[in-house]
Amino acid sequence: MGNKDQAKAQGAQLQEVEASMSTRFMNKIMAEFGNNVGEVSLTNFQKVLAQNYFIAIDGALKMAEEKRLKKSEKYRDKVPVTWANVNMDVKFARNVIACARVGLDPAQPNHINVMPFKNNNLNKYDIVFVEGYRGKEIKAVKYGLDVPDDVTVELVYSNDVFKPIKKDRNNKIESYDFEVANPFNRGEIVGGFYYYSYSKVPEKNRLVIFTLKDILKRKPAYASVEFWGGEKDVWKNGQKTGEKEQVEGWYEKMCWKTVYRAAYNDITIDSQKIDDDYLRLKQLEESYAEQGLAEEIEANANKDAIDVEYSVADNDAEAERPDDGNNSEPEKETVAAASGSGQQAMGGPDF
């Protein structure tokens, strides 16, 4: 058999394996749907959404496996990051279903991303679902108690003119004046704000102001310089050179995203709207926070690998790309992995 014939045969075999994994994935999801809601078939929309999750997970696995193979054999994990080594237990299917029912679509930017984690207890990879900032908006709008008609999020620069108009006995409606005096030279970021607008009851309008200190206080302790900007070590042949290089990053977008997340986090959840899917996502967030992993995932989500010390794989995280309106994103770069002894995150989604 010639090289071309061998390549065709290998390609056909790979397609067959991928097709069988896609079928297995869909069967797992459909079975769990049946267990939860009875003998009903998935709607066309739900089938498309489930397939989007398969495509997203498949892409994350391939990216992580590619990065695994690039490592020297000394540091390379012996377990390939493939579907055959994914822990497709009941929790996996339930997590997919919960995210899909809430309306989080991995095919849409910043709804939700997926990340494989090495579960050293099972010697398999668990899939973690990473909620994006647009995903937080979707969840808040769906489950909020008193959702505003409009949410305005802005950064304020040193050359802008910003004047808050607070509510008092003489002024029944909280508001603000905001003027971008020089759109081509706005100066340095000095803060930001979000504003809840209620068209029918403007007396409920609310303005929340953030100083730059308030914004940076929400910056992860291990924030990636690829996104926040700053200095990073220069590596050569797997070792630090002792030199530093300046990275511009996406500082403005990260500051804006921080205020945006705060705006939708502050919307009160209506207890009467809470369902099993919301509780499932909330449980993931809380378990992640309890184990102190949120900052590490936020900071390292699209790097080569991070090591974290925990044994429970039922977690969630937050990571998304800056989203400048054109879906632009920072170039991915190889970075050194932090050391640890528990479960490992292999690769990761776009920021």
User: What is the torsional sign of CA 90, 92, 95, 101?
Assistant: negative
Listed residue (323, 290, 333, 315) closest to 118, CA to CA: 315
Q: Are 223 and 132 part of one and the same domain?
A: no
Q: Are 15 and 74 part of one and the same domain?
A: yes
Number of separate domains in the chain? 2
Greatest mean pLDDT range, 14-18, 52-56, 91-95: 52-56
- List pLDDT tens digits, range 120-161: 888 999 888 878 899 999 999 999 999 999 999 999 999 999
Q: Are 235 and 171 part of one and the same domain?
A: yes
Q: Are 8 and 125 part of one and the same domain?
A: yes
Q: Are 190 and 111 part of one and the same domain?
A: no
Of 231, 265, 299, the last residue of a domain is 265
Q: Are 222 and 283 part of one and the same domain?
A: no
Amino acid (one-letter) located at 162: F
**What pLDDT does residue 117 have?**
85
**What pLDDT does residue 324 have?**
47
154 domain-assigned: yes
253 domain-assigned: yes
Q: Are 82 and 227 part of one and the same domain?
A: no
pLDDT above 60 for 332: no
**What pLDDT does residue 141 have?**
93
**What pLDDT does residue 18 have?**
54
CA distance 306 to 334: 12
HEC per residue, 134-193: HHHHHHHHHHECCCCCEEEEEEEECCCEEEEECCCCCCCCCEEEEECCCCCCCCCEEEEE
**What pLDDT does residue 351 have?**
38
Average confidence (pLDDT) over 277-305: 60
Which helix H or strand E contains 334, and what residues bound it? Answer: none
pLDDT above 60 for 347: no
CA distance 15 to 22: 10
pLDDT above 70 for 163: yes
Burial 38-76 (b: 16+ CB within 10 A, else e): eeeebeeebeebbebbbebbbebbebbbebbeeeeeeee
Q: How confident is the model at residue 15 (pLDDT cuts 50, 70, 90)?
A: low
pLDDT above 70 for 299: no
Q: Are 77 and 156 part of one and the same domain?
A: no
Q: Are 99 and 172 part of one and the same domain?
A: no
**What pLDDT does residue 313 have?**
30
Q: How confident is the model at residue 348 (pLDDT cuts 50, 70, 90)?
A: very low
**What pLDDT does residue 92 have?**
87
What distance separates the 2 farthest-apart alpha carbons in the chain? 88
Q: Are 82 and 183 part of one and the same domain?
A: no
- List pLDDT tens digits, range 19-49: 577 777 877 777 766 655 554 456 778 778 8
**What pLDDT does residue 140 have?**
94
Query: pTM (2 decimals)?
Result: 0.71
Q: Where are the alpha helices (DSSP H) in the chain?
A: 3-37, 44-70, 90-102, 133-143, 212-217, 225-228, 251-265, 276-290, 294-300
Mean pLDDT of the chain: 77
Specify the higher pLDDT residue, 183 or 337.
183
**What pLDDT does residue 180 have?**
97
Range of the domain at 311: 3-140+270-346
Q: Are 19 and 88 part of one and the same domain?
A: yes
List beta partners, residue 191: 156, 211
351 domain-assigned: no
CB contact at 8 A, 126 and 117: yes
pLDDT above 90 for 3: no
CB contact at 8 A, 117 and 343: yes
Of 265, 281, 297, the last residue of a domain is 265
Of 215, 241, 265, the last residue of a domain is 265
127 domain-assigned: yes
Contacting residues for 126 by C-beta, under 8 A, at least 6 apart: 86, 87, 92, 116, 117, 119, 313, 314, 343
For the chain, how far is it from start to end, CA to CA, in angstroms? 44
Average confidence (pLDDT) over 306-326: 38
**What pLDDT does residue 88 have?**
87
**What pLDDT does residue 334 have?**
28
pLDDT above 60 for 9: no
**What pLDDT does residue 289 have?**
58
292 domain-assigned: yes
pLDDT above 90 for 350: no
57 domain-assigned: yes
Average confidence (pLDDT) over 10-27: 63
Return the axis-axis angle of helices 3-37 and 90-102, rounded to nearest 10°.
80
CA 220 to chain centroid, in Å, comes to 14
Q: Are 282 and 261 part of one and the same domain?
A: no
